[in-house]
Amino acid sequence: MDLLDELEKRVVCGDGAMGTLLLDDGVRMSRCFEELCVSEPERIQKIHESYITAGARVIETNTFGANAVRLQRFGMEERVSEINRAAVAVAKSAARNRDICVAGCVGPLGITARDAAARGIDRARCFREQITALLEAGVDAIFLETFTDFDEIEIALRAKKTVSEAPEICSFACRPDGRLRCGAILGEAFNRLREMGAKILGVNCMNDPAEMVVLLRQLPAEFPLAVYPTAGRPRLRDDRFHYDVAPQSFADAARDLVAKGARLVGGCCGTTPAHITALGSAIANLPS
């Protein structure tokens, strides 16, 4: 699928959460979720397949934290390439020969600029290493997501641009007031990324669908937006996280999100295949 072309023609349904489903499935919080692509690929493939069956046409690889800095917490910093390649293989097996866009998920490094400097970490190199592995393994796009710091996504985007011209999605986690944690205004951050050649911008995590609608009101709907709300705030009950936005109410917000410029809509933390099923039919019923 040519993602940009597709987004011009229609609203596209993305997938839902991976991490919260794994926790629900009994995977311990202390585990390295990304490594499961190597040790338990069937488990990850089943989740991708359930999202595709639900109607997702863009799926994200299970590689949010598959960079050297985050993998180092598990003593796996030497396995960046192996884990990312395995994740792409699993997602591609789930997609088989269907018209699905496999997007390589890239999250923040999880350290501040100051930490990186103090530890002598070359952030651009870390992003380049992960993104190169994803692209070489054959992803159709790169999905930079849940960034809260403008400088960091800028470094990631530059690194991506040195490797390939494949489409990329640049998505921030931003509060409904439109101000990023680093202090920048989201609308201005979008403009700067557009100047750098980013074609698809977006917001994910942090907000439920209603809060996303508030956030989108402050943005110009001039370019295709990717919007991945959460299913509400997690509440810990009986050792499990519960999210309070039910699939139908999640999907009911799709109309408002699309009216504000969303062209790719999926789900972040707490969303399940049931949310994506409801979302997919809501999108299909929108006037084109």
Interaction site with Zn ion (CB under 5 A): 205, 268-269
Residue 58 vs 268, nearer CB to Zn ion: 268
Residue 38 vs 170, nearer CB to Zn ion: 170
Least distance (Å) from Zn ion to the CB of residue 241?
12
Least distance (Å) from Zn ion to the CB of residue 188?
23
Residue 269 vs 278, nearer CB to Zn ion: 269
Residue 227 vs 269, nearer CB to Zn ion: 269
Helix axis angle for 41-54 and 80-95, nearest 10°, is 40
Residue 64 vs 127, nearer CB to Zn ion: 64
Least distance (Å) from Zn ion to the CB of residue 147?
12
Provide the pairing of β-strand 240-242 with 235-237. antiparallel
Least distance (Å) from Zn ion to the CB of residue 189?
19
Residue 25 vs 188, nearer CB to Zn ion: 25
Least distance (Å) from Zn ion to the CB of residue 64?
9
Least distance (Å) from Zn ion to the CB of residue 266?
11
